[in-house]
Amino acid sequence: MSSTDQSDSAGRDEAEADKATVQSEPSLVSAAAGEFFGTLILVFFGVGSVHAAVATGAQSGLWQVAVVWAIAVSLAIYATAAYSGAHINPAITLVAGVYDRMPIPRVVIYWIAQLAGAITAALILYAMFAEAILELERQRGLLRGGPGSELSAMVFGEYFPNPAVFGTDEKAWRIVSLRGAFIAEMVGTAFLAFMVGALTSERNMARPPAGATAVMIGLTVAAIISVIAPLTQAGLNPARDLGPRLVAFMFGWGEIAIPGPRNGWLLVYVVAPCVGALIGGGIQRLLARMAPQSNEPSS
């Protein structure tokens, strides 16, 4: 075979490999559907557990809410991983874009689908819990959109410190500053991104079987919530906060929803998770490069 033939053959092989890679990657429509429904599942059950806890007293204690969040994350991953990889979190998608060379248009489509899924889930929850939330406001003497109405708005967006734990007056504000809230959300999301990378990395010989990965990621979220939620309600996910927060804004909470009583929601619940995810995801990928390669012969 001449060098020209060898070059042509190599070119064809490379083209076939590229074609196989493209075919194995979900289409944008499939990926968008996966992220939409995955985030919808996540927010419906996760934020729904907050609705049930605050508006009806159905859950007793933070751990019960955290466990429902673990289940919500696991179900969302099981249901949609085949379609989009189940990012279900704009911060995790940002990590894929920065470190894994996910194309920018694909990143944007994921973000739009995630936000749309979160908004849809929050609208469903409002339709279900509207009367219960109104009764909560009557019992607590809350004027929706007025001072202190974070106690009902917290079923949608998040506040620091957690109103259910510390209340809503300025004395409570001293417990968690804007700086402290930023650090909490950044650190919590850094741990989440690190663990997602570690639990799914092919170079991690101790990673769980594929069928158990979703459960382990869910338990990671529950553990992080148990530590961070008393401080900031543990957003960890810009879509999870912004989608329901927009719904709260539309249904009467106004400035209590956006920009919030402390004007820090964008920095704490959008910017901090993105920064934290980049830190945690970057550290995990750096460590993965140091891990020994598998000695199994390639096929």
Instruction: Say if 4 falls within a structural domain.
Output: no
**Residues constituting the chain:** 299
In the structure, what pLDDT confidence band is assigned to residue 19 with cuts at 50, 70 and 90?
very low
Residue 196 tokens, joined: 């997602």
Q: List the one residue out of 191, 229, 188 whose CA is nearest residue 59.
A: 229
**AA identity, residue 123:** L
**Dihedral over alpha carbons 252, 36, 46, 204 (to 10 degrees):** -140
Contact status, residue 157 vs residue 241, Cβ threshold 8 Å: yes
Average pLDDT, the chain: 91
Which domain, by its residues, includes 54? Answer: 27-290
Taking each helix axis as running N to C, give the angle between helix 238-248 and helix 90-99, from 0 to 180 degrees, rounded to the nearest 10. Answer: 140
Q: End-to-end alpha-carbon separation of the chain, Å?
A: 25
Instruction: Flag whether 37 is in a domain.
Output: yes
- In a domain, residue 13? The reply is no
CATH number at residue 239: 1.20.1080.10
pLDDT in tens, 217-270: 999 999 999 999 999 999 999 999 999 999 999 999 999 999 999 999 999 999
C-beta separation of 49 from 59 below 8 A: yes
Please tell me whether the peptide bond between 259 and the residue prior to it is cis, using omega within 30 degrees of 0: yes
Give the total number of structural domains in the chain: 1
Q: Are residues 92 and 99 in contact, defined by beta-carbon separation less than 8 angstroms?
A: no
pLDDT tens per residue, range 189-224: 999 999 999 999 999 999 999 899 999 999 999 999
**46 neighbors 240 (Cβ within 8 angstroms):** yes
Domain-embedded: residue 126: yes
Lookup: tokens for 295: 């000695």
